[in-house]
Amino acid sequence: MNLIDAGWDTFFEVHFKPYALDGFSVGRIAVEHKNVYVLFTEYGELRAKVSGKIRYEASNRSDFPVVGDWVVIKPRFAEKYATIHAILTRKSKLSRKTAGIETEEQILAANIDTAFWISSFNKILNIRRIERYLTTVWESGAQPVIILNKLDLCTDSELEETVIEVESAAPGVPVHAVSAKNGHGIENLMPYMQKGNTIVFLGLSGVGKSTLINRLIGEDVQKVSEIRKIDDLGRHTTASRQLIILAGGGLVIDTPGIRELQLWDSKDGFTETFEEIENIAQHCRFSDCRHESEPSCAVKQAVEDGRIDPKRFQNYNKMQKELDHLNTKRNVRSKIVEKKRAKQFARLVKNMKENFKKHKFNKQ
Ligand code: GDP
Ligand code: ZN
């Protein structure tokens, strides 16, 4: 495998120099799976684990490799396995801050060159969200690009208005209007698909990310991106590759974490995505109605008499559950962190007391 196709360049070359002399090699993380990774290397795909030293010295999760990382390895060819000895300096990293509490940062992907934010013409434009997206991307070190999808659904005057509004909210950021459905404007995205350029697709559910990815990388990407892996029990299973090398050059990172990012900020995004349902939900008897078996549920009523599309309602429920799940995870985590902090504080106080006693004792 040619490392340049996988995104290798002089930036990483420089950082690899100190290792090159010791017979180390490099690989790029294509799949992150619990403790096992799959790497693109010059010898083809290798599975890998981090060295004991990395594990021992790690103080938080960002000390472990993530999808997109370039890592320093020692391959063991007989076993088709490699040991990861170091992570090369990241050119960029897309991370998620756990909201509300300042726990460790969670890095979702590394070494991204271009971050596409996809929005669609049939959704109300939320300039605040675009600004938030830009902040995240600027912080990551990647180049932001805004894509307005579903061009086929808008009139010329809507197009002009929207583009002007977005461009003024995001000065200097490229804005492209496309239709993933019929291919209009797609040629304007080709410059981002060059050899070695790593892209992520961000945006709310339903804006057309999957359709766009499929159009850009061919319909059979799912098949192409499946790889065989061995699970913890030694069974062979398939897993989706999370870093995909496109036939025409360019790479796409698509991981569950990146797909979740759209939800993260965001009871807000949810409300907007399901605007028509949320509007009706305001007429439910209970303000926290789950639209399950509560009495006087306006949403259930609307599904029954056809004002809400049952499929949309299904999606709504699914997304609501995902969102709840994320919130629960977040709460559990913040509780753990609180406990840890309380413990650390108690220890600190104890040490101080002891020191104080010793001090007094010494003085006497
Ligand atoms: P994702 O959730 O962002 O991955 O969105 P999908 O790719 O699943 O698309 C959501 C819906 O929008 C699907 O029904 C697509 O067929 C539709 N869609 C995607 N792109 C376009 C487009 O350019 N024009 C129109 N009219 N529909 C589109
Ligand atoms: Zn209800």
pLDDT tens-digit map of 287-341 = 889 899 999 999 999 999 999 988 888 878 877 776 676 666 666 666 666 677 7
The whole-chain average pLDDT of the chain stands at: 82
Cα(9) to centroid of ligand 2, in Å?
54
Kindly state if the Cβ of 185 falls inside 6 Å of ligand 1. no
147 C-alpha to ligand 1 centroid (Å): 13
| Minimum mean pLDDT range among 61-65, 133-137, 220-224, 300-304 | 220-224
Q: How many residues does the chain have?
A: 364
- Pocket lining: 150 vs ligand 1, CB cutoff 6 Å: yes
Q: From CA 30, how far away is CA 37, in angstroms rounded?
A: 7
Q: Which residues pair with 253 in a beta bridge?
A: 200, 243
Residue 189's pLDDT is 92
Encoded amino acid at 110, one letter:
A
Mutate to test the pocket of ligand 1, among 211, 222, 311 (most ligand atoms within 8 A of CB): 211
The answer to whether 121 and 103 are in contact (CB under 8 A) is no
Ligand 1, atom 22, lies closest to the CA of 150
For ligand 1, atom 25, the nearest C-alpha belongs to: 150
* pLDDT tens figures, 123-132: 777 777 787 7
CA distance 68 to 252: 10
* Gap from CA of 212 to ligand 1 centroid (Å): 8
User: Which residues, 6+ apart, have CB-to-CB distance to 296 below 8 Å?
Assistant: 284, 285
Give the number of the atom of ligand 1 that is nearest the alpha carbon of residue 118.
Answer: 3
Which sign does the torsion angle of CA 78, 83, 88, 91 carry?
positive
Task: Using the predicted structure, report yes or no on whether residue 219 has a pLDDT greater than 50.
Answer: no
Is any atom of ligand 1 closer than 6 Å to the C-beta of 181? yes
For 10-14, 131-135, 308-312, which range has the lowest pLDDT when averaged over its residues?
Answer: 131-135
Which ligand sits closest to the CA of 297? 2
Is 75 near ligand 1, meaning CB less than 6 Å away? no
User: Helix, strand, or coil here: 8?
Assistant: coil
Among 262, 247, 245, 195, smallest CA distance to 31 is for: 245
Q: Is residue 240 within 6 Å of ligand 1 at its C-beta? A: no
Has residue 233 got a pLDDT over 60?
no
Supply the pLDDT for residue 235.
41
pLDDT tens-digit profile of 250-283? 899 988 778 767 554 555 556 666 778 889 999 9
> Hey, whose CA ends up nearest to atom 10 of ligand 1?
206
Q: 170 φ, ψ to 5°?
A: -135, 65
Residue range 142-191, pLDDT digits in tens: 999 999 999 999 999 999 999 998 888 888 899 999 999 999 999 999 89
Q: What is the pLDDT of residue 260?
A: 67
Residue nearest to atom 19 of ligand 1 (CA): 208
Calculate how far, in angstroms, residue 164's C-alpha sits from the geometric centre of ligand 1. 23
Cα(227)–Cα(238) distance, rounded to whole angstroms?
A: 5
Of 268 and 73, more confident: 73
What is the mean predicted confidence (pLDDT) over 43-60?
91
Neighbours of ion ligand 2 (CB under 5 A): 284, 289, 291, 297, 299
User: Is the CB of 179 within 6 Å of ligand 1?
Assistant: yes
Task: Please state, for a pLDDT cut of 90, what percent of the chain lies above it.
Answer: 41
- Map 233-296 to HEC letters: CCCEEEEECCEEECCCCCEEECCHHHHHHHHHCCHHHHHHHCHHHHHHHCCCCCCCCCCCCCCC
pLDDT at 247: 78
Angle between helices 127-140 and 156-169 (to 10 degrees): 50
Q: For residue 305, what are the CA distances in angstroms to 277, 295, 298, 310, 325?
A: 14, 16, 11, 10, 30
Alpha-carbon distance of 68 to 23, in angstroms, equals 22
pLDDT band of residue 47 (cuts 50, 70, 90) is very high
- pTM, whole model, 2 decimals? 0.71
Q: Which two tokens stand for residue 259?
A: 């797909």
